Structure 1
């Protein structure tokens, strides 16, 4: 797991009902990470344009 080094900005939150029926709240942030290995998205939910990885230094 990459270490978060800086929280740049809060993008917002939204409430939804999870697949198990529980009320959930998602918080979204722009962060910098100290990646020592390549970052890979493993959940297909996050590959549909809702998650973005910026590799700029």
Structure 2
């Protein structure tokens, strides 16, 4: 699948992903439930991958 985005859309998407990532990191830190923390860390890895792809595409 391919999605065509304008530069402004890519900047916005990157900003939104970074906000989500920061909020997720805080939630991981505060979570005591081991299973839930594991799920959150899986989401964290996916967000990191998306951010890397967005940053690479903008370079």
| Between structures 1 and 2, the one with greater helix share | 2
Structure 2 length-normalised TM: 0.25
| Between structures 1 and 2, the one with greater strand share | 1
Higher RCO, 1 or 2 (CA under 8 Å, sep at least 6)?
Answer: 2
